Structure formats: structure tokens, C-alpha cells
Structure 1
Amino acid sequence: MKSLFTAVALVVMLPVVALAADTAEVGEPAPAFTLKDEAGKEHSLAQYKGKVVVLEWTNPECPFVKRHYTAGTMQKTLSGFDAKKVVWLAVDSSASHTPDVAAAWKKEKGFSYPVLQDPSGTVGKSYGAKTTPHMYVIDEKGVLRYAGAIDDDPRGNKKEGTTNYVKTAVDALLSGKPVPASTTESYGCSVKYKS
């Protein structure tokens, strides 16, 4: 009876172990992916090797995302980086969104970086993306160096002294220094994964 219980326990635990091994971890190589953007163009993490890559999990319907785009948080953060050294990719893992939704939103907000389509949620789950926005910074060698919030102002009510974690992480990587805070607690709406 004991060996039967052990066998059942192992079978039950195996999927959990396999899932944990496929989840992104800071300090480890970032999970590879290839996704199409809102215009149908393919983007893979591998094609950006040699550059710092910022991944932004997004959902144009989320109030937190709307606030950041109205304030220009993402756009201003990106504009402070050298475009030859840093790539910004938004990823939408919302099961119900189509490329048309992303294209219309991109046009409305006037930003140029791609919105990668992940309706199956496979890439989002491999990164452990929980909220929109949820941010990841990958170094030029493909190693995940930061995961968490865009900043330390979840409610958007700080008048001054906001710390932009993504800017801090990218600046550190570009100057060859370690990222001061490699993980923070992300905030926002839950990612609307396919159920």
C-alpha cells in the first residue's frame, strides 16, 4: 500500500516539477519564444540577442495600463534608451484579443513598438506573467535580469520620487553594473488567460 501511495504521489507531483522548470527565473536564460505582432510580423527573442530586451505584458482594457499610457510612462521610459541597444516588446496574452484590437490601440496611443499576440497564453505562462503591466528585462546575452512592476507607484498618486524599476534595470545593464532590484511585486489587472 505504501508503494502505491508513493507512486501516486510521484505522478501527481511530476507535472508541477515540469512546470516549474519552464518558468522564467531571474539570473537564468529567459524562455525562448516566437510570436507574431499585430501586423503579422514574427519576432523571436533570439533575433534580439546582443540587445537589452524589455518585455511588457499588457492589456489595453486594463485601467492600470490605461493610466500608464495616458501618463506616457512606457513611451517616456523607452525614449530615454538608445534604440540601437534596447528593444521594447509589448505582449498581449489576453485570450479574447485579436491583432485588430492591438493595432487600433497602438494607433490611438501613438507608439511604435510591436504588440506581440499570445492568445494561447503559452509565452505569458512561461514567464509567469501575472498582471498587466508585468515587466521583464533581459540582458544582451539572453539572461533574465529583472521581473516585476514598472515602478513603485501602484496607485499613481505619488507626486514625486517615483522609482522606475525598468529604467533603473536597463541603465544598470547598459553601464555594466548589476541590477539593484532584480525582482519587485508587479501590480495591475490579472492577465486574462484562456481558461
Structure 2
Amino acid sequence: MARTESNMLPLGTKAPDFNIIDTLDNTKKSLSELKGITGTLVMFICNHCPFVIHVSTELSQLAKDYVSKGINCIAISSNDAENYPQDRPELMAKYAIDNDYIFPYLYDQTQEVAKAYDAACTPDFFLFDSNLKLVYTGQLDDSRPGNGKPVTGEDLRAAMTALVNKEAVNPDQKPSMGCGIKWV
């Protein structure tokens, strides 16, 4: 299991826009139409990564806990689906349904969105405020497959709660870690 750390895009960075396919309904969706009133969480994930599988239940719960507070969640897979067929769009849609995702699961076929966000691993998290300025980029929590620590979402939840409460997000952020994005 490869361990790749996120690149930690500088805080304050404006969220790059995109217009890519939502695997659940096969329509193109843009950041401008999916963004939340309070904030927007962009997550780079995939179907087969053990790190994503390990936190999938928490990702589903996180969205359920914060969408009513104005933070919309968006998942994107940028993996090369030809060489990693588990990450094909039709299987992404099934994965989203099986994991009770209430957020769109988008396919970045050209990998341009991942490059624009400087995404490096799955999962990789980017939390933006209401003006689409980056306030958090880092880990979900300290749990990793096999390390015995429970999945709590503690780090990301603290940032999301601060955003909801109009408080400063702690700038001391630990990189996310997971499988490297499967580049073409």
C-alpha cells in the first residue's frame, strides 16, 4: 500500500473552477453550481484505495452532518480508469450509492482538475470558505488502515465547525496521506 502525502496547497488559494461529469446522473457539474453557502469541501477520492475505503463511512457522515450547515461536499476521482478499471465511472456511481454518499461523485477524465488543485493522493481534502478561498487542506484525522486509531474525522471536522461558526480555522494542518493519484 503506497503512502503519498498531500501537497498542501497554500491557504487562501482560490478554488479552481471545473465542469466535469457527475457519475450518478451523467451530467456535467461545475464548482459554481455545487458550492455551498458557508463553504465547500472538495475531496479527491477513488473506489479502490484502501485509505479511502477505510474512511468512506466517515465521508458519508461528514456530508450528512454539515450540508444542513451550508457546507456542500464534492468528491472527485481523477484516477486513470483505463489502467485502474475499478475506478471506471459506472463503478464510481455504484460505489457512491453503496456508501450512501449524498454528494456528487465526479469523474475528472483529463486529470486537469486534480492538477489545478495540486491533488496528490486519495483521499485529499480541500475546504473552501463562502468566497471559495482555501481555509483547510490536510488530513481527515490520524487514523490510517492498520494503525488501530479510530476514524473520527477530527481534524477536518474541527475546520468545518470553525467555518460554520465564523471562527478562524487553525492554520496548523497535517497533510493527508493515501494512495497516489493514478496519473495517465
TM norm structure 1? 0.78
Alignment of 1:43 onto 2:29: yes
Deviation string 1:58-108 (CA, Å, 9 cap, x unpaired) is 111011111112xx1111222221436111111000121432021111122
1:50 alignment partner, SS class = coil
The question of whether the paired residues in 2 share the 8 Å contact of 1:119 and 1:193 is answered with: no
Partner Cα distance (1:126, 1:81) in 2: 25
The question of whether the paired residues in 2 share the 8 Å contact of 1:37 and 1:116 is answered with: yes
Q: Which runs of 5+ in 2 are unaligned?
A: 1-7, 82-86
* Aligned partner letter, 2:166: G
Question: 1:185 is matched with which residue?
Answer: 175
Partner Cα distance (2:72, 2:153) in 1: 21
- Report the more deviating stretch, 41-50 or 87-96: 41-50
- What is the total number of aligned residue pairs between the two structures? 169
Whichever of the two has the greater Rg, that structure is 1
Higher relative contact order (CA 8 A, sep 6+): 2
Aligned counterpart in structure 1 of residue 165 of structure 2, from 175, 180, 187: 175
Partner Cα distance (1:34, 1:163) in 2: 28
Partner Cα distance (2:41, 2:153) in 1: 17
Partner Cα distance (1:24, 1:169) in 2: 16
Structure 1 residues 110 and 148: alpha-carbon distance in aligned structure 2, compared to 1, 3 A threshold:
same
The question of whether the paired residues in 2 share the 8 Å contact of 1:165 and 1:181 is answered with: no
Q: 1:124: how far off?
A: 0.5
Q: How does 1:1-195 map to 2 (within 5 A)?
A: 24-38=9-23, 39-47=25-33, 48=35, 50-69=37-56, 72-83=57-68, 85-96=70-81, 97-155=87-145, 156-159=147-150, 164-181=154-171, 183-194=173-184
1:188 alignment partner, SS class = strand
Q: Determine what percentage of the aligned residue pairs are the same residue.
A: 24
Question: 1:20 is matched with which residue?
Answer: none
Partner Cα distance (2:39, 2:45) in 1: 19
Q: 1:163: how far off?
A: 5.8
Partner Cα distance (1:171, 1:53) in 2: 13
Q: Which runs of 5+ in 1 are unaligned?
A: 1-22
2:177 alignment partner, SS class = coil
Q: 1:150: how far off?
A: 1.2
More helix by share: 1
1:67 alignment partner, SS class = helix
